[in-house]
């Protein structure tokens, strides 16, 4: 099994406590469905800095990642299929699925 990092773009901001509980239940159900494939559950991201050769800037204009999870899957296609069940996708956001690469000697 290979490791894949799911990078979330976009977020759903619940407007009430009931909506928050509903959203958390969706995440919990999806994580249960992933089962042992889930290595590291969702971690939301906060503020962002962009570091480039030209210097350091505050955040990205609208396309910053909002969080990540790490899963195990046999291949990229199956990892993407797993990611398709993410609550953010069902609410109109997107998930980038990246295969992690082993580096010999590290």
Does position 62 have pLDDT exceeding 80, yes or no?
no
Q: What is the pTM of this model?
A: 0.86
CATH entry, 2-99, from 3.40.1260.10, 3.60.21.10, 3.30.70.1060, 3.40.50.300 = 3.30.70.1060
pLDDT score for 58: 85
b/e string for 66-97 if b means 16 or more Cβ within 10 A? bbbbbbbbeeeebbeebbeebbbeeeeeebeb
Residues 76-87: tens digit of each pLDDT: 999 999 999 999
Contact 102, 3 (CB under 8 A): no
Q: Tell me the percentage of the chain whose pLDDT exceeds 90.
A: 58
Residues 20-47: tens digit of each pLDDT: 899 899 999 999 999 999 999 988 888 8
Cβ atoms within 10 A of the Cβ of 2, count? 15
Question: How sure is the predictor about 61, in pLDDT bands with cuts at 50, 70 and 90?
Answer: low
Structure tokens at 100: 């992690």
């Amino acid at each position: 099994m290979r490791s894949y990092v799911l990078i979330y773009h976009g977020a759903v901001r619940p407007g009430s406590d009931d909506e928050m509980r509903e959203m958390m239940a969706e995440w919990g159900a999806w994580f249960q469905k992933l089962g042992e494939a889930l290595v590291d559950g969702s971690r939301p991201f906060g503020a962002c800095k962009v570091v480039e050769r030209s210097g350091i800037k505050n955040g990205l204009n609208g396309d910053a990642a909002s969080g990540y999870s790490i899963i195990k899957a046999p291949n990229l296609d199956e990892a993407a299929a797993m990611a398709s069940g993410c609550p953010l996708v069902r609410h109109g956001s997107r998930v980038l699925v990246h295969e992690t690469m082993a580096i010999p000697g590290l």
